Chains A and B, each alone.
With several copies, the nearest count.
Chain A
Amino acid sequence: MLISRKPSPFLWAYRAYVLAFFIFLAAPLVAAGTFAFNDSLFPALPWQGFTLDWFFNDTEPKLGMFHDRRLLRGLYYSFVIAGFVAALSVFVGTTNAFLFVRGDFPAKNALYILMIVPLVIPGVILGISILVLASDTANYLERTIDLELEFLRPGIFLVVLGQFSFVTTITSLVITARLKKFDASMEEAALNLGATRARVLRTITLPFLRPAMIAAGIVAFLVSFENFNTTLFLVGSEAPLTITMYDRMAKVGSTPVLNAVSFFLIIGSGALALISILVQRDKTDR
């Protein structure tokens, strides 16, 4: 090994550096999470004592997150949006994977690069470009044929589309990687054993892809859940949680209830991430 042979002080310094790095990683999250339990109206020092009010209290001014209808509604919209985004992007990710792994068509490489591009377009620009196109289209239709297409106006639909536009790249990459590992002779074996094509897809190919689809779905869900830049421009009256929290912070004033939500999200997404990794490390990985 590169290191094992080295004098151990170097290794110790290296380990210390790694430890420091993980402290750096954890610090803001721990800070954000910890202040959820501070018995104070402001998420700041000094420490006023431990409380669970910011989770469970049901009266102002210390309205806990589980009684704060707006936060809960934001949470609900976040779930709805993330659910749609995950479902859609996993679906398109799967078709893309089949397209690029199995398909044979001109300009495949160029199109493959085009598929990656959304990942590197700044989220803000994705948001505004979609906003501009959607509202110009809606305005045009309204002006010319007096057709009002409400779904082209900022709202859940556009938010879902906006997030979908770059999340799909992620899901496509994840599922493509898995499909590339798939031994196509497995499908032939199933055919050979008498299965119809539909049955092969249902019993062999999709089950093989399932771990990747689940993992991609979770990633898509989380990315959608935490997305801010793209959503900011496309959101209508149904604001997801990040936007609600941002509005709270920038326009109303934050209370430790935001820390409580953060704590809740850190734990929740940590658990989801864990699941996604466990699923990926599925036994069928060989």
Chain B
Amino acid sequence: MTITPAYDLECIDIAKSFGDFRAVKDVSFTIPSGSFFSILGPSGCGKTTLMRMIAGFETPSGGDIKIKGASVLGTPPNKRNVKMVFQHLALFPMMNVYENIAYGLRCKGVSNDEIKLKVQDVLERIALPDVGHREIHQLSGGQKQRIAIARCMVLDPDVLLLDEPLGALDLKLREAMKIELKLLQHQFNTTFIYITHDQSEALVMSDHVAIMNEGRFEQIGTPQELYHRPNTSFVASFVGDSNRWSGKVADSDGTGGKVRTEQGLDMAFSAAAGQTISTGSEVDIFVRPEFIRTIRENDPAAAISDGDNRMSGIVDSLLFNGANSRVLVRGWSGELIEADVILTGTDDLAPGEKVDLVWSPAQAMCFEKTGAA
């Protein structure tokens, strides 16, 4: 009876402690074949530790890891068919590109002729057919990146792990590589697990993203789900920009109601999916800048729905950034609120102007405060 497993990788209650410190706490997840899965979390949350356990460099303190359905706990790292692209790539500087890629094949004992074929093939697939004879230091950052991936892919891994591989690149290159990585994954059609603390990387590239915090997974979902329907206040604040208020629920019907913020503002909200928030509880409310409309005070043209939240303030400054321009508005209680605006150079808002900020309760994401937060 042979069943092809549905998942390339399964982690079941995996945990890791360093002495007293619990770096990874009972994380479970499954990754379907051929998908691009990202783990996004702040520095030190345990992402690398988790990945090192999958690769076999650390032994889990508990739980099980299955690759293609079979547990690999007893398998040493060099026997696992899980390849890894390291943060600083770890290309071997004493070998040229060809030898770097051939290394894994040689370890397997593949014949020289076959190695030649395979290396040439993978070099073509990453669109660098002619760099085989180059030394590593003769490559550009982006090329190195691709060689590091090719070095793994030539071995046909079940899963490719990537630990912040773009961290060392400069801004422009990072933007370009984001798209490139996604295309490469399509190319090879292998399961990629991608670690990052840069949300835009995770959102842009992934099929699914897991948000990790303090050794735990807070939420797993598609980028859209995470952005629009975060489960926890950590996810809401970590994914995307947002304005944040703290307050106390004045009136609630379980899924929506009114909050009085610490600054004394009344605000309507709707609770995040699956949450019930009862009257009197302390909550955090998040509103993304792009959902806040800025309208000139008493602008008759502005259409405001009835239930919308509204707040008046004074323009503090304008941050022009092309399509991503922002306005900073100082509310009457002194807090600065960011809202997206379009600045065209004609008839724009100006610092000092009085404005109203308007947003719908549906966009005000509300989470009950946990004891610790």
Contact = CB atoms under 8 A, between A and B. Distances in A.
A284 B90 contact: no
Interface string A68-93: 00000000000000000000000000
Contact of B93 (A194, A195, A286): A286
Interface string B79-120: 100111011101111100000000110011000000000000
B22 interface: no
A193 B108 CA distance: 9
Interface stretch (A11-19, A101-109, A202-210, A240-248): A202-210
B77 interface: yes
Given A183-B90, A185-B87, A208-B93, A5 B107 contact: no
B94 A207 contact: yes
A204 B103 CA distance: 10
B77 A5 contact: yes
A284 B91 CA distance: 11
Contacts of B123: none
B190 to A, nearest CB: 15
Contacts of B228: none
A188 B137 CA distance: 20
Contacts of A45: none
Contact of A194 (B55, B57, B78, B90): B78
Interface centre among A183, A189, A195 (most CB of B within 10 A): A189
Interface string B135-179: 101000000000000011001000000000000000000000000
Judged by DSSP, the binding face of A is helix
Interface centre among A185, A193, A196, A210 (most CB of B within 10 A): A193
Contacts of A284: 93-94
A59 interface: no
Interface in B39-60: 55-57, 59
B307 interface: no
Nearest to A206: B94
Contacts of B90: 183, 185-186, 188-189
A183 B88 contact: yes
Given A183-B88, A188-B86, A286-B137, A194 B108 contact: yes
A190 interface: yes
B87 A5 contact: no
Nearest to B107: A194
A193 B104 contact: yes
A91 to B, nearest CB: 21
B86 A208 contact: no
A43 B91 CA distance: 57
A283 interface: yes
Contacts of A204: 92, 94
A194 B155 contact: yes
A208 B76 contact: no
A190 B76 CA distance: 13
Judged by DSSP, the binding face of B is mixed
B86 A185 contact: yes
Contacts of A180: none
A265 interface: no
Contact of B94 (A1, A185, A191, A208): A208
A279 to B, nearest CB: 13
Contacts of A185: 86-88, 90
Contact of B152 (A183, A193, A210, A286): A193
Contact of B77 (A188, A208, A283): A188
Contact of A189 (B79, B82, B84, B137): B84
Contacts of A186: 90, 92
Nearest to A1: B57
Nearest to B135: A283
B108 A283 contact: no
A190 B103 contact: yes
A5 B55 CA distance: 12
A211 to B, nearest CB: 9
B223 to A, nearest CB: 28
Contacts of B94: 204, 207-208, 210, 284
A189 B87 CA distance: 11
A281 interface: no
A188 B91 CA distance: 11
Contacts of A210: 94
A155 B76 CA distance: 50
Contacts of A196: 78, 107
A203 B103 contact: yes
Contact of A192 (B78, B93, B108, B137): B78
B103 A193 contact: yes
B104 A194 contact: yes
A1 B57 CA distance: 7
Given A5-B57, A196-B107, 9 more contacts: A5-B56, A183-B90, A188-B90, A189-B90, A191-B57, A192-B55, A192-B152, A208-B93, A284-B94
Interface of B: 55-57, 59, 76-79, 82-84, 86-88, 90-94, 103-104, 107-108, 135, 137, 151-152, 155
20 contacts: A1-B57, A185-B88, A188-B77, A188-B84, A189-B84, A190-B103, A191-B78, A192-B78, A192-B152, A193-B103, A193-B104, A193-B107, A193-B152, A194-B104, A195-B103, A196-B107, A208-B94, A283-B93, A283-B135, A283-B137
Interface of A: 1, 5, 183, 185-186, 188-196, 199, 203-204, 207-208, 210, 283-284, 286
Nearest 3 CB-CB pairings of A with B:
A193-B104, A189-B90, A194-B107
